[in-house]
Every structure is written in structure tokens, then in C-alpha cells.
């Protein structure tokens, strides 16, 4: 096979890739997003496939494939989802660390997200908090707090009111100076000159308490996300529209922000963070002023976001019923530390 991956439609070659590992399949994913081929008429030829590649092939919706070197671990995945497969050579496993890391407990979506992160196909950046101690009004709120989040990971921080959840977020944002310890976003130390230049990489969705009755449209609020950078009006409009469409808030663009419902405001705020191209999203009690429907919609939006753009997300909330539905990793803030 001259290419590492070939896609055929009616025996006609429509896509090829010479990349390695799982990258041809991620390239194919992008290709199929814009193409309009009936998936059952596509035939995929791949050089090598294990459980990881099989999962991606299933998720792409490919129904027929030929693999030159196939791992036995891929077969249950193909059979479970009804993918017809053929191969040249079958081996019990392939030398790939990724295949060993995929467990049977992982759902198809979990596997997909895991592979995207592993392939660096996430927008998120890492967050590292090292022995952070913060005082507010002379009172110790955070005490030698440590936290590490990898690219595209999500974490819910729970805790009672007043335990310091918002203080934690404000420290990450650089809005509160710590007594000691450090916060790093990606490679940048919060508070450093380099971080100041890139501070917009952190998006902030605060409690919906902004009593903003000043005339400002939803689209203008979203455009705030790019206030700190010099871009053309055309680029600004494009980014605003794209991020509003991604959060399903484009139809609200000309409405006054203060006239929107709590759920609509949070959609617009998320669009603002996307427009900002934020690599890490900090969400402070985002459900505070939402009804049940609003909470459900926000949950769906965050899950979508974690699967697509996949920014690193840190959410603080005391609404355990709602955060349980998100199915994110959780920690509790108590006595100034995370447990």
C-alpha cells in the first residue's frame, strides 16, 4: 500500500494520508466533516490497526475496512459495532502504548476523547498549582493547595459556600495575588510578563450576577472575548459568529444581553470564552441562576465542548446533583486544600 491510509468511494480513491499512528484517522475525520459521502459506501484501507484505531474507525461511521496488520484487540470493537473487516496478517497485539491504556471500562466517547488528548488534538492547555497559599481580608482561604490538570482535562471542585472555591479561580486568573506558591498555565507562570501577554488564554465564566442593564447586545458581549487583541473587523465578526453558532446562541446576537434568560446568558458567556480562544475555562458556579432546563442545556453544552474544542475546564460548584451528571473527575475543597 503506497499510502498509510486510503479511503475509497465506489472503488475511487477519495482520500489518502501518509501520516503515522492515529493521525491519518484524525485527518480523515476532518475530511469527512466537509464531505458528503454515504458512509456505508466507503471503504477504508489502513496499514495497521489496534483497539485505538478500531475505535476511531467505528466513531467515524466507516462500515467496511481492510487492515494490513490487525491486532486481535481490535476485533471485538469491530464486531460490537458491526464493522466488516479483512486483514493480511493478524497479531495478538501491536507495539503501541496507547492500546494498552484503553480499558474495557471506557465508553466509546471516553476512548475518543482520550485519543484526541493523546494526539494533542485538544485546545486545552495544562494547569499546575504548586503549594498555593492565599489570604483574603487577612483570613487564610487556601493553604498550600496543589493541583495538576493535563491538557483538555476536566475537573469539578466541590465544597460548601465560603470554602474558597471562587478564591481558587480568582487566583488562577491572577486577580488575587497569593501569599506564597505559584500557578502556571501551560508554560507561563501567572503574574509573569509572558503570562500578561497571554492572559486571554484563560476564559472566565462567572456567576451570573452582573447587573448589566446597560445597552449591550449578545454579539457585543461575545466580541469582548477579542477585546485584548488587534484583529480586523472582518475577523472579529467571523470569530463572534462562529463561537455563537458553536454554542447555539447565534439567533440571540442582536438581543440586549440583560433581557436574556439565565441559560441564554451562560450560552453567550461560553461563546465569549470560545471567541477568546481560551485554552482553559474557569467556571464559577455557572448554574447559580439557572432553572432545571437551563442547567440541562448548560450541561449538554459543556459535554459537547469537552468532546470538540476540549479546552481544559475547571468548574467550581456546590450543585452536586448537576455536577454528578457531568461525569467529570471531582475534588472537594476543604480547609484550604483539595481532597
Partner 1 sequence: MVELFTYPPILKGFIVLILTGFAFPITGVYLLRMNLLPLRFMLMHGAILGGAISLAMDVNPFGGTLIVNLLLVLLITWMSRSLKTDPGQLSAFFMVVSISLAFIFIYRFQIPAKDTLSLMWGSLYTLNGFEFIGTLAFSLLLILFQSFFRHQLRAVFFDADIAQTSGVNETGFYYAIILITAVTVAAAMKLIGALLLDALLLLPALIASYHAKSYRGMMLWSSFWGGMFAIVGFLLSLALGLPASSTIAVFASVVFLILILAKRK
Q: Does 136 bind partner 1 (CB under 8 A)?
A: no
Candidate residues 140, 229, 300, 308; the one interacting with partner 1 per rule CB under 8 A: 229
Q: Does 35 bind partner 1 (CB under 8 A)?
A: no
Within its chain, how far is the Cα of 249 from the centroid? 19
Q: Which residues contact 274 (CB under 8 A, 6 or more apart)?
A: 203, 225, 242, 243, 246, 247, 305, 309
Q: Does 173 bind partner 1 (CB under 8 A)?
A: yes
User: Of the ranges 63-71, 167-175, 287-295, 328-336, which one interacts with partner 1 (CB under 8 A)?
Assistant: 167-175
Q: How far is the CB of 34 from partner 1 (least distance, A)?
A: 31
Cβ distance to partner 1 smaller for residue 39 or 175 = 175
Q: What does each C-alpha distance from 284 to 113, 208, 209, 320 come to in angstroms?
A: 24, 9, 11, 14
Candidate residues 35, 210, 292, 329; the one interacting with partner 1 per rule CB under 8 A: 210
Q: Which residues contact 49 (CB under 8 A, 6 or more apart)?
A: 57, 65, 67, 69, 70, 71, 74
For the four alpha carbons of 88, 90, 93 and 98, in that order, the dihedral sign comes to: positive
Q: Does 214 bind partner 1 (CB under 8 A)?
A: yes
Q: Does 220 bind partner 1 (CB under 8 A)?
A: yes
Q: Does 175 bind partner 1 (CB under 8 A)?
A: yes
Q: Where are the alpha helices (DSSP H) in 20-120?
A: 23-34, 51-60, 75-80, 97-101, 108-118
Q: Does 263 bind partner 1 (CB under 8 A)?
A: no
User: Of the ranges 178-186, 224-232, 260-268, 328-336, which one interacts with partner 1 (CB under 8 A)?
Assistant: 224-232
Measured torsion, CA atoms of residues 322, 265, 174, 125, in degrees rounded to the nearest 10: 70
Which chain residues interact with partner 1 by CB under 8 A? Answer: 170, 173-175, 198-200, 202-204, 206, 210, 212, 214-217, 220-221, 223-229, 236, 254, 256, 272, 276
Amino acid at each position: 500500500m503506497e499510502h498509510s491510509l486510503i479511503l475509497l468511494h465506489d472503488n475511487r480513491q477519495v482520500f489518502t494520508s501518509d501520516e503515522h499512528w492515529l493521525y491519518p484517522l484524525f485527518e480523515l475525520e476532518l475530511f469527512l466533516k466537509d464531505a458528503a459521502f454515504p458512509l456505508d459506501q466507503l471503504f477504508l484501507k489502513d496499514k495497521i490497526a489496534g483497539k485505538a484505531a478500531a475505535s476511531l474507525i467505528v466513531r467515524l461511521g466507516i462500515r467496511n475496512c481492510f487492515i494490513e496488520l490487525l491486532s486481535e484487540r481490535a476485533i471485538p470493537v469491530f464486531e460490537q459495532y458491526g464493522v466488516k473487516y479483512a486483514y493480511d496478517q493478524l497479531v495478538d497485539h501491536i507495539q503501541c502504548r496507547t492500546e494498552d491504556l484503553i480499558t474495557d471500562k471506557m465508553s466509546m466517547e471516553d476512548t475518543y476523547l482520550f485519543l484526541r488528548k493523546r494526539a494533542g488534538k485538544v485546545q486545552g492547555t495544562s494547569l499546575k498549582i504548586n503549594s498555593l497559599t492565599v489570604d483574603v481580608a487577612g483570613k487564610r482561604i487556601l493553604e498550600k493547595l496543589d493541583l495538576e490538570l493535563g491538557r483538555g482535562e476536566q475537573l469539578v471542585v466541590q465544597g460548601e459556600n465560603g470554602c474558597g472555591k471562587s478564591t481558587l479561580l480568582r487566583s488562577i486568573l491572577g486577580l488575587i495575588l497569593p501569599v506564597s506558591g505559584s500557578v502556571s498555565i501551560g508554560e507561563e507562570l501567572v503574574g509573569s510578563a509572558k503570562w500578561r501577554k497571554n492572559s486571554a488564554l484563560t476564559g472566565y465564566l462567572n456567576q451570573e450576577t452582573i447587573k448589566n442593564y446597560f445597552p449591550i447586545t449578545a454579539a457585543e458581549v461575545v466580541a469582548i472575548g477579542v477585546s485584548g487583541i488587534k484583529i480586523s473587523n472582518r475577523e472579529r465578526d467571523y470569530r463572534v459568529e462562529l463561537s455563537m453558532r458553536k454554542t447555539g446562541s447565534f439567533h440571540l446576537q442582536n438581543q440586549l444581553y440583560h433581557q436574556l434568560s439565565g441559560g441564554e446568558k451562560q450560552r453567550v458567556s461560553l461563546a465569549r470564552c470560545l471567541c477568546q480562544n481560551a485554552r482553559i475555562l474557569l467556571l464559577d458556579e455557572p448554574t447559580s441562576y439557572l432553572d432545571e432546563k437551563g442547567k440541562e442545556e448548560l450541561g449538554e453544552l459543556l459535554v459537547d465542548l469537552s468532546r470538540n474544542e476540549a479546552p481544559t475546564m475547571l468548574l467550581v460548584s456546590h450543585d452536586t446533583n448537576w455536577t454528578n451528571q457531568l461525569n467529570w473527575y471531582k475534588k472537594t475543597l476543604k480547609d484550604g486544600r483539595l481532597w
